[in-house]
Structure 1
Amino acid sequence: MSVLRVGNASGFYGDRFDALREMLTGGELDVVTGDYLAELTMLILGRDRLKDPAAGYARTFLRQLEECLGLAHERGVRIVANAGGLNPAGLADAVRELADRIGIPVRVAHVEGDDVGPRWPGSLTAHAYLGGFGIAACLREGADVVVTGRVTDAALVTGPAAAHFGWRPREYDRLAGAVVAGHVLECGTQATGGNYAFFADGGAGRDLRRPGFPLAEIHEDGSCVITKHPGTGGFVDVGTVTAQLLYETGGARYAGPDVTARLDTVRLTQDGPDRVRIDGVRGEAPPPALKVGRTRLGGFRNEVVFVLTGLDIEAKAALVREQMTDALAKSPPAQVRWELVRTDRPDADTEETAGALLRLVVRDPEQAVVGRALSGAAVELALASYPGFHLLAPPGKGSPYGVFEASSVPQGDVEHVAVLHDGRRLTVPAPPADGTRPLEAAPEPGLPEPLPPGPVRRAPLGLVAGARSGDKGGDANLGVWARTDEAWRWLAHELTTDRLRELLPECRTLTVTRHVLPRLRALNFVVEGVLGEGVAARHRFDPQAKALGEWLRSRCLDIPEALL
């Protein structure tokens, strides 16, 4: 059968608005997808729904369709997006109303069944991650637009591929290939040079001012080529694809509702300018349970940042900490976190570069404890504390924060339904018991031969290794890869979990698991608990661990001179 061209036009709720038009007008395409849902987004949509029960979906998607639905219809491009969020049926109705108003005859379907909130009383949202076969059912029955709630990011690609090629549930290798393609596409321009460790290398065709969005040319056997429309910015090479493959994954087994993809079987090959072939992907039966993402309101949060300037930074910080502790003693917040960020320089030639930041973050179930009490205590010190006292910004009244928690539910306990454009409801059966496999860690692969001893030089890790990091609830994922076989021979032996803890002291007391992926010349680390209760709780300076990998790359260690 013909190649299926699947493009991406959104990696998150708030991504480039014009991307949908760019993908529809920039070149050949069969399906355009949009990923709008992250862990934080579900919390935001949950709070929207508290104010308006008819809300709960990504309104940006509707505005994009107002511009682009006619274009997609003219070009025969189908649209698949998880913009339905908490209310896919509501979004499907809104798309139909829009299509009627602008006179575009499109068939709109949606997927539901992911909402498992009744199982977890007290949750703001609780949604199971569904697979791609509900999307496939909608497309097979003629839908032009399919909107979903919480499906896996890769399902936006596996669904169209299964519909186009006629794949069935047990065709694991084909499905796994599509899962890998979907994972590369789902974060948009992160596959085309965005957020890329070696962005400064330069070179022809690497204009990163406005990277084009990626697309996958998927073949019937599940292999694909990752590319982008001609003439768009950014670039696609083995490095950009490797970086995205490592993003927010863990071990060699990447589990999903339809298949468990073996990331240790992925083979990447440069197939020409801005073309990377992915093949060799093997798949296994999916696990018997679906992942469930739950959010709840955790309480209230407030923050005050004190600016400390010039001399005696440590003493100034100690004084204001003692003063604030005394002031809050009558009703102390449940959680108090201090962090001194030494941005100051000696003998600085500007006042800003002579300053350090002392950050106080408090959390409590009661807003008053983190609101008026904290703000009043900080402001009252204005004339009674360290010399040069001032705040980065006036303290606020405190705001609610959310908590993300992962759980699971048996696949058979979730009713996965494709609601077709004509109103028919097709139930998507769960895998039978003999069609699932409990998730286990893959066998540890052998390491390459270490480099022979030789002269070394103290230098940043980032000179020889790339990294990309991100969040999964309260944990962080940190993928590190080498660009040459020689660098891999060194990295695989040098960057152990103990060495990672040494380089990143924040991780010293935390559980760190290392996964080895030799075909990608990569190590993938999972750091448990470094993000506290997740991104919405804003536990640390970088609440989604987006820059954890860049911090690691900036750390110095003894690197063989042959690699430098």
Structure 2
Amino acid sequence: MESRWTSEIGRRPVKVANCSGYAGDPSWQMFRQVTDGDVDFITGDYLAEMNLAENAEAYQAGTHPGWITTAWAGLQESIEVVAERRIKVVINGGSLNPSGLAQKVALLAREKGLDLKVAFVSGDNLQPILGNTLAALKDTLPPHLDSDNPDVKLPWNSLDPSKNESIPLVSANAYLGARAIVQGLKMGADIIICGRVADASPVIGAAWFWHSWKDTDYDRLAGALISGHLIECSAYVTGGNFSGFTEHDPEIFIEPGFPLAEIDADGTCVITKHKGTGGMVTEDTVKCQFLYELQGSIYLNSDVKAYLNNVKVQQVGNDRVRISGITGAPPPPTTKATIFYHGGYQSQILLNATGYGTTQKWKLFETQLRRKLAVSAIDKDLSILEFQVVGAPEPNPRSQLSSTTYMRVFAESKSQEPLMGLLFGVRDISLQHFSGCHMALDVRTAIPKPFLAMYPALFPQNSLKETITSWDNQSNSMTEAVDVGHPPKYELLERRENIPTTYLGKPLSSFGPTKPIRLGDIALARSGDKGSNLNVGFFVRTPKVWEWLRSFLSSSKLIQLMGEDWSEDYFIERVEFENIFAVHFVVYGILGRGVSSSTRLDALGKGFADYVRDKVVEVPVEVLHESKL
């Protein structure tokens, strides 16, 4: 199989298989991807914004290895097949300690007598640059990720180092590109362990190396960036998190297979999966994943920025979908970075109400508890206190559960004591409660717990030192780190496209009589998070329905559909992807500080799309006749 790397490289599309979309994907998915069919590369994205930070303190204390255990387990299970089939592996499972995982993998290969060269990428850790406490950031705090948008109001509780001098940084990491990965492959590495590279960087690196692209081949790099975007969330492109699943046999989605990207020399790709695996790859599943976690019509990476306006998605075979139309340009001079620090303490108290008079019950409870907290002055020490009612009782209920809703009392404070006071306040009024009040007997969520707050930032690329280091099996030691430099050219990010909220398209009255239906009966969608912001994209299947959707779904209409979830503190950007009949929105600020810092029950925004799809809207009868949903 060695001939593949001498005779086939660059002569055909490179086959890149994804084995992980987050740390919890099972390790055996790597083994499955290397054994279920022919591939050239295995890539894996193990790092959500949160799990890297969650392990940082334990790693610093010596109680955590710093790498992702499922990544190590996958390599243990797969390394012999990887060696036999000469498959290259590029994963970010090294997390906080890529050198440590690289050493373990190299020693494993040596023990098994396998001829494999292992390397690791460094340079994402910013703590040596920024310091170990918030006090160190007083004069060097990088600008907020959304600071370059004058229309966006940053969260009120964003990081202010002047007010939190003694608080330690837990982690600070830049999102690296693919330069070190490409250099490592050129040096002959078979397995490359990365830390916080951007989600798509392993895929970009694989295609860049395979096709011998230049670092100025921006259209090709941009195409590979979107290929990586499509497969980095594992089963999300093969049927997971798919809003159209209700149209198909549910058996298809019980265990979707993980995806492959076949990336051609021009940067276009075909998304597919191994034969015989579950799930499906269709235009709909690919469009859903394409619209996931976008920040508008420009997708950024440290090596390239991709323009998405002219994207095309075309079914070219069973479980085979081609993506084209992506163009590229030089990257911006900054890359994304995330800084995590101790945000204080959180608690949530969950209470249930059943049936008759539910609205009045929750009003009474909130009034009682707020009065109790005011009398004891505890309310002044709570930085956040929210009373969130989840659900609505079913009319003429079939069971008590269908008649029950719950209230989520969510609170934050700098210390534990006020939150314990909140819990005692609930206790003190426990027998003064409304009719039928009850709660689960397990109250562990009500005990204050420390949480990590996130600050998403922009960090200058030229201040990074990105390196690649190999493990030398002969000397059983690391070689000297190779500095891979920086992109040859930068280009400032232009103002993001925002089609005005007053966009009219074709007048809605021209479509004729309407019929009330749920939006989800005619449109599919996907939503997710980008730090403080939520993104959501809606698409339809035919030109006639698209003509209506783009006219109907303005920014002002989305605000109306959001109802009580909208706040004037938020800002909306709206773009269109005409070739795939999609409208996409970014709602800035709705997730607060984001991730574990968000007060929303749906902190990652995943349920927002189906919330809006469940809204009843007026759809023209002639449009319904054209719809294929």
Normalising by structure 2, we get a TM-score of 0.85
Q: CA deviation at 1:214?
A: 0.6
User: Equivalent residue for 1:404?
Assistant: 454
Question: Partner letter of residue 312 of structure 2?
Answer: R
After superposition, where does 1:491-510 map in structure 2 within 5 Å?
A: 491-505=549-563, 506-509=565-568, 510=570
**Residues of 1 paired with 2:287 and 2:397: CA distance?**
41
Q: In structure 2, which of residues 27, 41, 65 is the aligned counterpart of residue 31 of structure 1?
A: 41
Q: Distance in 1 between matches of 2:496 and 2:452?
A: 34
Give the match for residue 401 of structure 2. 352
TM-superposed CA distance for 1:142, in Å, is 1.1
Q: Distance in 2 between matches of 1:359 and 1:2?
A: 55
**CA deviation map 1:106-163 (0-9, x unaligned):** 2110111011123264332111111111111111111111111111111111111111
Task: Single out whichever of 486-495 and 53-62 deviates more from structure 2.
Answer: 53-62
Q: What residue in structure 1 maps to residue 490 of structure 2?
A: 436
Whole-Å Cα distance in 1 between the matches of residues 580 and 71 of structure 2?
35
Please say if 1:220 is aligned against 2:265.
yes
2:321 is aligned with 1:273: no
Can you give the 5+ residue segments of structure 1 that lack an aligned partner in the other structure?
none
**Residue 476 of structure 2 corresponds to residue 476 of structure 1:** no
Kept in 2, the 8 Å contact 1:253–1:441? The answer is: no
Provide the rounded CA distance (Å) in 2 between the counterparts of 1:355 and 1:280.
49
Task: State the secondary structure of the residue aligned to 1:2.
Answer: coil
More displaced stretch, 529-538 vs 308-317: 308-317
Aligned sequence identity (%): 34
Q: What is the deviation of 1:54?
A: 5.9
How much does 1:398 deviate?
A: 1.2
SS at match of 2:108: helix
Gaps of 5+ in 2: 1-10, 135-168, 473-478, 625-629
Whole-angstrom distance in 1 between the partners of 2:584 and 2:325: 20
Q: 1:374 to 1:51 in 2, by over 3 A?
A: farther
Q: Deviation per CA, 1:188-224, whole angstroms, max 9, x where unpaired? A: 1111111111112126x97111111110111112111
The answer to whether 1:426 aligns with 2:482 is yes
Q: Distance in 2 between matches of 1:51 and 1:138?
A: 31
Deviates more, 1:399-408 or 1:315-324: 315-324
The answer on 1:340 being equivalent to 2:389 is yes
One-letter amino acid of the structure 1 residue matched with residue 453 of structure 2: V
More divergent stretch after superposition (545-554 vs 82-91): 82-91
Aligned with 2:67 (options 44, 57, 60):
57
User: CA shift at 1:363, angstroms?
Assistant: 0.5
Structure 1 stretch displaced more, 508-517 or 142-151? 508-517
Aligned residue among 6, 30, 33 for 2:16: 6
Q: Distance in 2 between matches of 1:426 and 1:64?
A: 27
CA contact (8 A) 2:536 2:609 kept: yes
Q: Which residue of 2 aligns with 1:119?
A: 130
For the pair 1:485 / 2:543, whether they are aligned, the reply is: yes
Match of 1:291 in 2: 336
> What is the rounded CA distance, in whole Å, between the counterparts of 2:481 and 2:417 in structure 1?
48
Q: How big is the shift at 1:262?
A: 0.9
Corresponding residue for 1:363? 412
AA partner of residue 304 (structure 2): V
Q: State whether residues 181 and 468 of structure 2, in contact with CA within 8 Å, keep that contact through their aligned partners in structure 1.
A: yes
How far, CA to CA, are the matches of 1:219 and 1:99 in structure 2? Answer: 31
1:202 equivalenced with 2:261 (yes/no): no
Partners of 2:63 and 2:344 lie apart in 1 by 22
Corresponding residue SS for 1:169: coil
Give the corresponding residue for 1:376.
Answer: 424
Q: Distance in 1 between matches of 2:60 and 2:363?
A: 42
State the match for 1:550 in structure 2: 610
Check the 8 A contact 1:73/1:106 in 2, yes or no: yes
1:413 counterpart = 2:463: yes
1:176 deviates by: 0.8
Query: 1:291 and 1:173 mapped to 2: Cα distance?
Result: 21
**Is the 1:251–1:441 Cα contact (8 Å) retained in structure 2?**
no
Contact 1:464 1:563 (C-alpha < 8 Å) held by counterparts: no
Q: Spell out the pairing of 1:252-271 with structure 2 (5 A cutoff).
A: 252-271=297-316
2:220 corresponds to: 174
Map of 1:43 onto structure 2: 53
Aligned residues: 560
Structure 2: how far apart are the matches of 1:82 and 1:4?
20
Q: Is the Cα–Cα contact under 8 Å of residues 497 and 574 in structure 2 kept in the other structure? A: no
Instruction: Say which is worse superposed, 112-121 or 166-175, in terms of deviation.
Output: 112-121
Query: What pairs with 1:285-324 in structure 2 (closer than 5 Å)?
Result: 285-324=330-369
Aligned to 2:100: 90
Cα deviation, residue 376, structure 1 = 2.6
- The Cα offsets for residues 277-308 of structure 1, whole Å up to 9 and x where unpaired, read as 12232111111111112212211000111111
Aligned AA (1:550): D
> Structure 1 stretch 311-320 or stretch 36-45: which is displaced more?
311-320
* 1:380 shift after superposition: 3.5
- Call closer, same or farther: CA 1:353–1:109 in 2, change over 3 Å: same
Q: Counterparts of 2:120 and 2:397 in 1: how far apart (Å)?
A: 59
Mapped to 1, the partners of 2:359 and 2:40 lie a distance apart of 60
Amino acid at match of 1:459: I
| 1:530 counterpart = 2:590 | yes
Q: Which residue of structure 1 lines up, in the alignment, with residue 157 of structure 2?
A: none
> Which residue of 572, 575, 584 maps to 1:512?
572
- Conserved? CA contact 2:497–2:573, under 8 Å: no
| SS of equivalent residue, structure 1 residue 305 | strand
- Quick one: distance in 1 between partners of 2:337 and 2:185? 25
Question: Mean alpha-carbon deviation: is it higher for 352-361 or for 20-29?
Answer: 352-361
Match of 1:144 in 2: 190
SS at the partner of 1:277? strand
Contact 1:507/1:527 (<8 A) preserved? no
**More divergent stretch after superposition (350-359 vs 224-233):** 350-359
Residue 443 to residue 385, structure 1, CA distance change in 2 (3 Å): closer
Aligned 8 A contact 1:382 1:390 in 2: no
Q: Determine whether 1:463 maps to 2:521.
A: yes
Q: SS of 2:557's equivalent?
A: helix
State the one-letter code of the partner of 1:404: M
Supply the AA of the counterpart residue of 1:136: V
Q: Distance in 2 between matches of 1:274 and 1:215?
A: 10
Classify the secondary structure of the residue corresponding to 2:306: strand
When the two chains are superposed, the root-mean-square deviation of aligned CA atoms in Å is 2.0
Q: 2:211 aligns with which of 160, 165, 172?
A: 165
SS of structure 2 residue aligned to 1:533: coil
Distance 1:336 1:349 in 2: 34
Contact 1:57 1:91 in 2 (8 A): yes
Mapped contact 2:384–2:412 kept (Cα < 8 A): yes
